[in-house]
Structure 1
Amino acid sequence: MYRVSPFVRHFARALLSGALVATLWVNLSPETYYDAIEFRLTDLPGLILPRPMALTPLALVTEGLMALFLAFIGKELWEALTLPHGALAGRRAALPALAIAGGLAGSVVAWLLAAALLPEVPAGAWAIPIGSDVVLAYALGRLVFGPGHPALHVLLAVTIGLEMAGLLAMGLSRPPEVFRPLWLILPLAAPLAARAFVYRDRQRSEVARAHVLQLWPWAVAGLLSWIGVLAAGLPGALGLLPVIPAMPHARRNFGLFAEAEGFLHDPLNRLAQLLVRPVAVTLFLFGLTCGGVVLSAAGTPTLAILAAIWAGKPLGLLAAVWAGARFAHLPMPPGLRPGDWPVLAALAALSFTVPLLAIGELMPGGLPDAAARLGLAIGLFAAAAALPLRRATAP
């Protein structure tokens, strides 16, 4: 099996470091913490944006810098779906795809049930528990399964799929009055224009090859796409995703976050390599601005989050995988045993990055917001079930 790049573990450390600093800060001095992350840098007029917005460190990270991280994992998902030997391409990827669908459905159903039974849990915030956490799940999965285990590649595929599903659900959950679909022409047209520009010389010459390998047209297209997504009323974190399918890329997939991709010279992989350090910084800043957990903020949203990610998501994932294997006779991914799936479900239940974004978008501020964040933090202890499950199901 291919080797996963070590930067995924560095991403996990950066995210947790930022969140730990933020948690200490917000519990020791909440006033200074919130003053810092909500400090008004400038006011952005509503000329392009659907409504005026204050530019704060929090908004700069969530609406701007996080687009880099989500483009990074979006690139991996796109290659997994479309390239030969991709982790989600072909019949052998059917069970991971079903696992994504089952985890999504289970978390939403559990949230809606909790919303019907518990006060202060808005049913319209159903998108919050869908997302997983790619970097934390992989870092812990590596400890549970050991380096190089085939289950790690399936875990990456499932968590990336859940992250992207959570993002799209968050965009769909925004109020309809701020959605301006005509602006979506810009993120659709900019990548197509960039592709037409770099392929303007069809001849197989060194000049034509140099045109295709240029990165600056894609940087311009990414900026225009991000502006269009924001102006359309969607989360800015989605802004770079429309550019990925248009970019020239390698003809073969070496696997999710494969170390071998560092030696490829196509624009998509070169851009991903350039983003490694900025993404690590982004994840630290994201943990610092969004990961502060108020330890005394327990409430009914805490219970709803835990019901969705400790029960709904893993049970939905396992039910979908069981049904696919039992009734559709779908093959196991290479190297996996049926007993590996409960461990994968416990790890995929880890929910942090995209759910934190969704909480900022969909939960009312104050105590419900803080209670939901506490639920995500407690939910990380789902990983504690992975090791005993692994020991119980090991051959």
Structure 2
Amino acid sequence: MYRVWSFLTNYSLLLIFGAVIAVVWANVDYESYRHFVEFEIWDHAPIGHFHPADANHEAYRTLTLHYLVNDLLMALFFAIAAKEVWEAVILKNGSLRGKKAATPLFATLGGMLGPISVYLGLAYLLGSETYNAVFNGWAIPTATDIAFSYLVGRIVFGAGHPAVRFLLLLAIADDAAGLIILAVFYPTGELAPMWLLLSFAVAIGVYFLANWLPRRRDRGNQDRPASTWVRTKLHFLPYLIAGCISWYAFMRSGLHPALGLLPIVPTIPHADRAFGIFSEAEKYLTDLLNQIEHALKHPVEVVLFFFGLLNAGVQFNAIGSATWLVLAGLLIGKPVGILLFGWLAARPMGLGLPQGMRIIDLAVVGCVAAIGFTVSLFVASVAFDAGAIQDAAKMGALFSFAAAAISIVAGKLCRVDKQIS
């Protein structure tokens, strides 16, 4: 149990505290909570919420506390998620490489199509007015919270069960798909491709100057003087500058700025092989990408606290149709989609399951993966404007914690063979 508690404190405890404080605050004094969330840090700022020009004012931006956390600081959280995705795809022994990833990838597809189908199908049955009001939130129940799912997965299956690794593969693939969905389907404004080109140009430039060129100059020289000079003298500075430019370009491009660091992550020198998500071995790696991740760990924990504080504050009377649609998508669509597509991949397609894992375990994995929380909250905040529907959808994301209890019960009913090590 100590290892589980250690994991929880390292990755999720501050986020939970922030969310709990927000819910209590919003239900005790909603007006003061909203005032806190919308607190203006800088009016007519170079970054922030965009206000188009009208008859009385020129276009301008306002930097609020909510924008600072959700649009700027959460870019660090998504950069760490992108780092895990990048390593899983590109490195030797990466989790998402080869045949071993095929069944989890198919299950991930089911874990996204299932919730979308349930969400939109039930919304359609509720009538055109409800359907039109909630349609844009179709991506909210597709999310899987990696940290909480991993925690619950270890409780249900035990740390040594192959289903835990299967769950991690599914969750990281889900994260990758979620990043694509955010970029493609939830722009923050009219798209400006020239700004997006600037972001990718900066990424190419920093890769060439700070990564490829030093290694090229060191070719055949075991002392690697150029690479050593860049690593010791400049360290992460070139990537910090590139990251700031890329983030600003994303903001001006119309894509969500929280994704602004994604083009920079693949340019940073990384390890030669992957050790797996949440692997203890990674803390001993000295490549710059892992050094940056380790340096960001504690700041991102604080960011997640404020994310929970600024986004989870919804009143209990906000519960509405969007709440139940999000919950149904997660609690019904996820398990059914993962079970169906996992079975198709494992049996008819012959891709198989990890040794020691049964078909019925896919249903339990689906229940665990139904914990949407962090990313579901984030998608709800961009899918809907502030108001009753957004609050109702956020309540559904918060209630997805019920999947933890459902998972434990499902594990008992399915006679999961718990493996501690």
TM range (shorter): over 0.9
Which structure 2 residues correspond to residues 162-311 of structure 1 after superposition, within 5 A?
Answer: 162-174=174-186, 178-198=190-210, 199-201=212-214, 202-203=217-218, 204=221, 205-211=223-229, 213=231, 214-311=235-332
Contact 1:4-1:256 at 8 Å conserved across structures: no
Deviation of 1:290 after TM superposition, in Å, equals 0.7
Q: Which residue of 2 aligns with 1:63?
A: 71
**What percent identity do the matched residue pairs reach?**
37
Letter of the 2:409 partner, please give it: P
Counterpart CA distance in 2 for 1:325 and 1:374 is 35
Map 1:52-201 to 2 at 5 A.
Answer: 52-118=60-126, 119-120=129-130, 121-174=133-186, 178-198=190-210, 199-201=212-214
Q: C-alpha separation between the residues in 2 aligned to 1:358 and 1:223?
A: 23
Match for 2:145: what amino acid? D
TM-score, normalised via structure 2 length? 0.87
> Are residues 350 and 61 of structure 1, via their aligned partners in 2, closer, same or farther at CA, if it must alter by over 3 Å?
same
Which residue, out of 311, 316, 321, partners 2:337? 316
Residue 187 of structure 1 deviates from its aligned partner by: 1.9
Change (3 A) 1:50 1:58: closer
Counterparts of 1:44 and 1:171, CA distance in 2: 26
Q: Across the two proteins, how many residue pairs are aligned to each other? A: 393
User: 1:4 touches 1:259 (CA, 8 Å); kept in 2?
Assistant: no
3-state SS of the aligned residue for 1:42? Answer: strand
The answer on whether the counterparts of 2:163 and 2:365 sit within 8 Å (CA) in structure 1 is yes
Tell me how far 1:116 sits from its aligned partner.
1.6
What secondary structure sits across from 1:41 in the alignment? strand
Q: CA deviation at 1:99?
A: 1.3
Deviation per residue, 1:238-284 (Å, 9 max, x gap): 11111112221111111112111111111111111111101111111
Secondary structure of residue in 2 paired with 1:122: helix
Residues 175 and 239 (structure 1 numbering): CA distance in 2 closer, same or farther, change over 3 Å? closer
Deviations 1:363-386 (A, max 9, x none): 133211111111112222011121
Pairwise CA RMSD of aligned residues? Answer: 2.3
**How far apart, CA to CA, are the structure 2 residues paired with 1:181 and 1:356?**
28
User: Matched residues in 2 for 1:211 and 1:331: separation?
Assistant: 48
What is the identity, as a one-letter code, of the residue corresponding to 1:207? P
> Residues 162-215 of structure 1: CA distance to partner in whole angstroms, max 9, x if unpaired?
233223213322369621122111221112111111233322334223245321
Q: Which range moved further: 25-34 or 128-137?
A: 128-137
Q: 1:302 to 1:161 in 2, by over 3 A?
A: same
Unaligned runs of 5+ in 1: none
Conservation of the 8 A alpha-carbon contact between 1:95 and 1:331: yes
Whether the 8 Å contact between 1:4 and 1:257 is mirrored in structure 2 is no
Q: 1:4 to 1:163 in 2, by over 3 A?
A: farther
In 2: Cα distance, 1:251 partner to 1:278 partner: 26
Q: TM-score normalised to the size of structure 1?
A: 0.93
Deviates more, 1:202-211 or 1:355-364: 202-211
Q: Against the structure 1 CA distance between its residues 55 and 45, is the aligned structure 2 distance closer, same or farther, given a 3 Å change threshold?
A: closer
Distance 1:288 1:50 in 2: 23
Q: Which runs of 4+ in 1 moved over 4 A?
A: 3-9, 44-51
Q: Which has the larger displacement, 130-139 or 4-13? A: 4-13
For residue 57 of structure 2, what is the aligned residue in structure 1? none
CA–CA separation in structure 2 for the residues paired with 1:209 and 1:248: 10
Where 1:339 maps in the other structure, the secondary structure is helix
Q: Distance in 2 between matches of 1:13 and 1:335?
A: 32
Query: 5+ residue gaps in structure 2?
Result: 52-59
